[in-house]
Amino acid sequence: MSNLSVNHLLGIKQLNKNDIELILSTAQNFKEVINRPIKKVPSLRDLTVANLFFENSTRTRLSFELAQKRLSADVINFSASNSSVKKGETLVDTVNNILAMKVDMIIMRHASPGAAMFLAKKVNAKIINAGDGAHEHPTQALLDAFSMQEKLGNLKGKKVVIVGDILHSRVALSNIFCLQKLGAIVKVCGPLTLIPKFITSLGVEVEPNLKKALEWCDVANMLRIQLERQDIKYFPSLREYTMMYGLDKELLDSLSKKIVVMHPGPINRGVEITSDVADSKQSIILEQVENGVAVRMAVMFLLAGRQSD
Ligand code: CP
């Protein structure tokens, strides 16, 4: 079996194309497994994993836990809000105390960009980044790529537009790295106040007009406005944002081709996407969630099987 080139999954930036293809093909095998009547395999029965969530999550936290259970790993869950972090314990002390209980792998979501990388340098365990501030969300990008491949086949030359709050989005950055490594072409679309200035240096074009962006693309990935990370006003009002950058059925049906619509969740129905689009045949939002379990199984399986450098 081939091996990943990394000891941890800290971001898509550190992966090469072979790593991504290995994860996606392994996820394909696991997707078949979890669609059998008996969904569980003993692959990680010797592994103990801790899920550390310092930020809220529904999809990522639950799908990691389910993926661990499908692989027969032992699981403990930690949420910062009811832990001794509240009494002033540091991140490294917290994790080292958890590792003292013979834990092998840490899945961590944290509000600080770079938190997973910092931890990987300080503690002796495999680390998977489940989202670090506005930096990266690698497993989301991998499940997005997997879902796009299911719909469109090989992503080389496929056109993807990421719409919305690019500035505060870890999903956008990880998707850009992942899609470009797989040969796709990426544009971003949104209010210019929510597009980071460095984006063109990544080889990503900015298309400020939503209709033009949608006419160009094969896939539109609609992002949530992340009000929790916005300390100033980036646009006049949500209503005006929706008028300019919201995707509704009328706009979707006016396009000259059928595009694929994605959203990482959680959705703000009626803001970035209307319900009739989110629930339409062109939307693969729930397929993305389904595929998250298989992709996270693949990541943990491959990292667990890798001897650390
Ligand atoms: N897409 C995503 O990360 O969702 P959660 O915040 O619910 O995990």
Query: Residue 1: what pLDDT?
Result: 55
Separation of alpha carbons 217 and 257, rounded Å = 9
Tell me which amino acid residue 193 is: T
Q: Are 118 and 208 contained in the same domain? A: no
> Atom of ligand 1 at shortest distance to CA of 58?
7
Tell me the CA distances in angstroms from 171 to 59, 234, 303, one per residue in order. Answer: 13, 19, 22
Q: Are 111 and 28 contained in the same domain? A: yes
Q: How many domains in the chain?
A: 2
R_g of the chain, CA atoms, integer Å = 19
For ligand 1, the distance from its centroid to the CA atom of residue 265, given in whole angstroms, is 6
Pocket test for ligand 1, best of 59, 143, 291 (most atoms within 8 A of CB): 59
Residue 183 in domain: yes
Q: Do 67 and 297 touch, CB atoms closer than 8 A?
A: yes
> Atom of ligand 1 at shortest distance to CA of 131?
3
* Phi, psi angles (nearest 5°) of residue 3: -120, 155
Q: Are 92 and 191 contained in the same domain? A: no
By CB atoms closer than 10 A (0-12, 13-18, 19+), residue 1 is exposed
Separation of alpha carbons 69 and 76, rounded Å = 11
User: Domain of 161: which CATH number?
Assistant: 3.40.50.1370
For ligand 1, the distance from its centroid to the CA atom of residue 201, given in whole angstroms, is 27
Q: Are 232 and 293 contained in the same domain? A: no
Separation of alpha carbons 166 and 275, rounded Å = 22
Residue 86 region by backbone torsions, left for phi larger than 0, else alpha for psi between -120 and 50, else beta: alpha
The first and second tokens of residue 150, run together, are: 């299911």
Q: Are 294 and 256 contained in the same domain? A: no
Query: Residue 152: what pLDDT?
Result: 98
Query: Residue 55: what pLDDT?
Result: 94
**Nearest Cα to Cα of residue 190 among 238, 241, 227:** 241
User: Does the Cβ of 266 fall within 6 Å of ligand 1?
Assistant: yes
User: Does the Cβ of 26 fall within 6 Å of ligand 1?
Assistant: no
**Nearest Cα to Cα of residue 238 among 252, 224, 250:** 224
Query: What domain range includes position 166?
Result: 138-285
Per-residue pLDDT of the chain (309 residues; tens, 9 = 90+): 579 999 999 999 999 999 999 999 999 999 999 999 999 999 999 999 999 999 999 999 999 999 999 999 999 999 888 888 889 999 999 999 999 999 999 999 999 999 999 999 999 999 999 999 999 999 999 999 999 999 999 999 999 999 999 999 999 999 999 999 999 999 999 999 999 999 999 999 999 999 999 999 999 999 998 777 777 788 888 899 999 999 999 999 999 999 999 999 999 999 999 999 999 999 999 999 999 999 999 999 999 997 777
By CB atoms closer than 10 A (0-12, 13-18, 19+), residue 32 is exposed
Q: Are 190 and 114 contained in the same domain? A: no
Look at residue 120 and give its three-state secondary structure. Answer: helix
The first and second tokens of residue 75, run together, are: 């699981």
Residue 85 in domain: yes
Residue 5 in domain: no
Residue closest via CA to ligand 1's atom 4 equals: 59
